[in-house]
Amino acid sequence: MQNYRFKFALNNQLDVVLQITYIKYGNEVIRLYKIVKKKSINSQVELMEVYAPFTARKCEPGQFIILRVNDEGERIPLTIVDYDRKEGTVTIIYQVVGYSTRLLSKKNEGEYLNDFVGPLGQPAKLEKHKRVLGIGGGVGAAPLYPQLKKLKEMGVSVDVIIGGRSEEYIILEDEFKEVCDNIYFATNDGTKGTKGFVTDVLNELIKEGNNYDEVIAIGPLIMMKAVVDVTKPLNIKTGVSLNPIMIDGTGMCGGCRVTVGGETKFACVDGPDFDGFLVDFDECMRRQSYYKAEEEHVCKLDGIKNN
Ligand SMILES: Cc1cc2nc3c(=O)[nH]c(=O)nc-3n(C[C@H](O)[C@H](O)[C@H](O)COP(=O)(O)OP(=O)(O)OC[C@H]3O[C@@H](n4cnc5c(N)ncnc54)[C@H](O)[C@@H]3O)c2cc1C
Ligand code: FES
């Protein structure tokens, strides 16, 4: 793999730096991180398939990548939603929430990302149970999908509850239908499925006598905590995926520190998946709001607003 960096002076104060990453394949030179597909999923969520053959070759469900849109860009962690080892592509699904995801959203098919590092983190520990229930909240349904797909391939019977604010925010319905035996929905406004929370559906399924060996919940911290509040007293094993602020993604900065079972863990190298019974969710929620003021900052340099 080779990186080329080009630097142009825009004026006496501003430089433009362009980094291009290539691999040599026989006599051919191929540029990496091309966006081979881009699709809008709803008004806030988009899907991208990126040519990243080294990541595609090794990644497993539960792992993530860190990308930078341009050479001076922020590093943003995103879960690997799918991969095609033959084509060398990795699929990501992201919600446009702030500065960097907005920059990412400006990129189109045929354009390139500056870098795309991965696979990072531990693969999810998927066990060959009889029956598993997945619970995905909002864009959390995206990281849940590869785990349920893999469980289905392992011969596990899989059900799923997908939650969102309204019908528009229910994502990947067709993909889940392909891998799940039963699919349930919960929306805050009742536009699809049960009017209420994913935990209302979970309580109903348990009341009806459904037995699950494990629940995998991925979504906002408050949702994962609420799921654990239901499953822990019933001793239904529950896996959750944590997404604290990550900077290097390799265990060096300590930014992604979480407390699990009374021990300090780094979500980027020890996770991001953990035993939900052991996670200190209150601490996670406190730490996630540390940088709220900075995130709300309006960038005066190029006029891109955060809100
Ligand atoms: C392991 C992991 C996997 C993730 N997978 C996905 C995914 O598949 N799809 C998706 O839409 N989002 C995912 N995220 C969250 C995603 O990284 C943030 O939405 C993104 O970094 C926001 O950047 P921004 O500049 O657009 O927004 P900002 O305005 O900077 O931040 C908006 C919110 O995003 C979160 N965030 C910001 N910077 C980071 C960071 N460096 N690390 C973690 N969170 C951050 C914070 O909660 C913040 O409040 C994941 C995060 C982690 C840690
Ligand atoms: S992101 Fe730096 S230690 Fe995990």
Q: Supply the CATH number for residue 114's domain.
A: 2.40.30.10
Atom of ligand 2 nearest to the CA of 77: 1
Are residues 240 and 147 part of one domain?
A: yes
Q: How far is the CA of 77 from the centre of ligand 1 (A)?
A: 6
Are residues 232 and 206 part of one domain?
A: yes
Are residues 103 and 188 part of one domain?
A: no
* 307/167: higher pLDDT: 167
Q: Supply the CATH number for residue 185's domain.
A: 3.40.50.80
Are residues 171 and 65 part of one domain?
A: no
Tokens of 92: 């990501």
Does the beta carbon of 264 sit less than 6 angstroms from any atom of ligand 2? Answer: no
Are residues 262 and 146 part of one domain?
A: yes
Q: The domain containing residue 50 runs over which residues?
A: 34-120
Are residues 154 and 249 part of one domain?
A: yes
Percentage of residues in the chain with pLDDT exceeding 90? 74
Ligand of minimum distance to the alpha carbon of 291 = 1
Atom of ligand 2 nearest to the CA of 268: 4
Domain termination residue (choose one: 99, 120, 141): 120
Are residues 146 and 243 part of one domain?
A: yes
Helix (H) or strand (E) holding 281: helix 281-288
Residues 144-197 have pLDDT tens digits of 999 999 999 999 999 999 999 999 999 999 999 999 999 999 999 999 999 999
Are residues 73 and 140 part of one domain?
A: no
Residue 306 within a domain = no
HEC secondary structure over 12-65 = CCCEEEEEEEEEEECCEEEECCEEEEEEECCCCEEEEEEECHHHHHHCCCCCEE
Sheet with 115-120, side-by-side order of all strands = 76-79, 64-68, 115-120
| Dihedral sign (CA 190, 192, 194, 199) | negative
CA-CA distance, 229 to 222, in Å (whole number)? Answer: 11
Does the beta carbon of 249 sit less than 6 angstroms from any atom of ligand 2? Answer: yes
Are residues 178 and 208 part of one domain?
A: yes
Does the beta carbon of 243 sit less than 6 angstroms from any atom of ligand 1? Answer: yes
Q: How far is the CA of 212 from the centre of ligand 1 (A)?
A: 31
Does the beta carbon of 145 sit less than 6 angstroms from any atom of ligand 1? Answer: no
Are residues 154 and 269 part of one domain?
A: yes
Does the beta carbon of 206 sit less than 6 angstroms from any atom of ligand 2? Answer: no
Task: Report the predicted TM-score, pTM, of the whole model to 2 decimal places.
Answer: 0.89
Residue 10 within a domain = no
* Number of structural domains the chain divides into: 2
Mean pLDDT for the chain? 89
Are residues 40 and 79 part of one domain?
A: yes
